[in-house]
């Protein structure tokens, strides 16, 4: 889905409190000018194919949808926005470097290795710039490429106030089956998720058969 189509879908799904669709003027005011009316118009018309990190976060926060909705279908609405500010994107990327290890060496990845893992989508200089904060407003394509290289969801680099993943969880989410199961579980009710967690724990408590 083109980013303009995604934006139209978000505009239709996440409306103003009075039920009307957001306008460029309203979004300009709600984001404190981070997303001006002209940007709103150009994004809707498809003139902007890869909006920056800062713009995506500002739009998501103002309209009240989870940042991963930029990337995923069927993301449910969150009634409450997270409190406080989480790590910035440089901090989250650095955390990935800390916990995701090179299977060949057992040590952390180098910037050049991660750049190669993006298959040309990112240069070594771009990886270093995002990692250090020199590039503090990466494009959507850069975010996707970096997340794919580490095998995590793109939304990890965009989420608002969530605590960064621990190393075990990051490693687990590199498995496609685990990621797909997580997506499906997230759509269940709180009660259903609790029941499912109990079932999973029962499997984990079972003694291995001889």
DSSP string, 57-82: HHHHHHHT--GGGGT-SSPPPPSSPP
Give the torsion through C-alpha atoms of 124, 46, 155, 147, to 10 deg.
Answer: -20
Name the pTM for this structure: 0.47
pLDDT grade for 126, boundaries at 50, 70 and 90: very high
Query: Cβ neighbours of residue 102 under 8 Å, at least 6 residues apart?
Result: 108, 109, 113
Classify domain 3-70 by CATH architecture: Orthogonal Bundle (1.10)
Read off the pLDDT of each residue in 133-155 and give the average, rounded to a whole number.
83
Phi, psi of 139 (to 5 degrees): -80, 165
Domains 3-70 and 89-172 share a fold: yes
Task: Name the residue ranges covered by the structural domains of the chain.
Answer: 3-70, 89-172, 177-205
**Tokens at 172, concatenated:** 């687990």
CATH class of 89-172: mainly alpha
Greater model confidence, 48 or 181:
48
> What is the torsional sign of CA 136, 123, 119, 115?
negative
Return the pLDDT at 111. 94
């Amino acid at each position: 889905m083109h980013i303009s189509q995604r934006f139209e879908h978000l505009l239709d799904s996440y409306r103003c409190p009075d039920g009307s669709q957001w306008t460029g003027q309203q979004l300009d005011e709600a984001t404190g000018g981070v997303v001006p009316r002209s940007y709103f118009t150009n994004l809707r018309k498809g003139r902007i194919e890869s909006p920056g990190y800062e713009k995506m976060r500002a739009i998501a926060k103002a309209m009240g949808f989870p940042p991963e909705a930029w990337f995923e279908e069927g993301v449910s609405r969150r009634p409450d926005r997270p409190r406080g500010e989480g790590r910035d994107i440089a901090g989250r990327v650095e955390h990935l470097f800390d916990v995701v290890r090179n299977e060949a060496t057992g040590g952390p990845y180098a910037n050049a290795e991660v750049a190669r893992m993006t298959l040309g989508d990112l240069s070594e200089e771009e990886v270093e710039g995002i990692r250090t904060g020199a590039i503090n407003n990466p494009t959507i394509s850069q975010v996707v490429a970096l997340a794919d290289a580490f095998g995590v969801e793109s939304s990890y680099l965009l989420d608002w106030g969530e605590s960064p993943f621990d190393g075990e969880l990051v490693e687990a989410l590199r498995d496609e089956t685990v990621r797909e199961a997580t997506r499906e579980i997230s759509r269940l009710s709180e009660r259903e998720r609790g029941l499912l967690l109990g079932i999973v724990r029962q499997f984990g408590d079972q003694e291995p058969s001889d």
